[in-house]
Amino acid sequence: MDAKKSNLIGSLLFDPLVPAYARPEAFEGTVAVVATPFNCYLRGDDPDKTNEMIAEIVVDFMKRYDLPFFGQWEQGHLLQRRGFGSRVRMMDTANGERAESQRLGRWAAQHIKEECGGTKVIRVGMPEHLGRCVAIDRYFGLEPVVPIACEDVPYDDTKRPGTQRWCTSRPVFSGYERLVARPGTVAKLLLGAF
């Protein structure tokens, strides 16, 4: 097994759920903002509180550093509504599709390297999900920095079509992340399905 895979496995099995937050000076030299949706809401429905807050954080960094956005529909269409259309890159997903974090990480890394000429990105999302996302980003050659503003992203326990029941509270998601998501990602890596 190569060192890159070993490092990812070690990160997934032993790193904390919430990664270290970056100091403000760490955002200098970033080339893009990447966000991972959390939970799911269907096209045509109002956004949940979680994805709305993730989009708000993204907007702040897009404005402050004049950066493009790479992510999925859950935040991308909110950014388009706010006038950022030309700077929004969205990975294709079906309505209500639960795209795996490694799929978004691979897609974002490929497009950021091609379009932005660098690898240092601002990574936004739900804190307990970001540890896995950051490890995956590094595996695909990105250098993510995580803003402390992510600490304020709330869980939304509203029942709606598309809701992922493991994403509605911190205790439930933390258990899911440790017992299902991270071991599942390791298994896919070992089986060559990553």
Residue 43 is predicted with a pLDDT of 67
Residue 77 is predicted with a pLDDT of 86
d(CA 136, CA 102): 6
d(CA 48, CA 52): 6
Residue 47 is predicted with a pLDDT of 77
| pTM beyond cutoff 0.85 | yes
Note the pLDDT tens digit of each residue in 27-45.
999 999 999 888 766 667 7
Residue 158 is predicted with a pLDDT of 76
DSSP-assigned letter for residue 166: G
Burial of 23 (0-12, 13-18, 19+ CB in 10 A): exposed
Residue 88 is predicted with a pLDDT of 94
Name the residue range of residue 155's domain. 3-191
Residue 92 is predicted with a pLDDT of 82
Q: How many domains does the chain have?
A: 1
Residue 164 is predicted with a pLDDT of 77
> Which parts of the chain sit beneath pLDDT 50?
none
What DSSP element (H or E) covers 121? strand 120-124
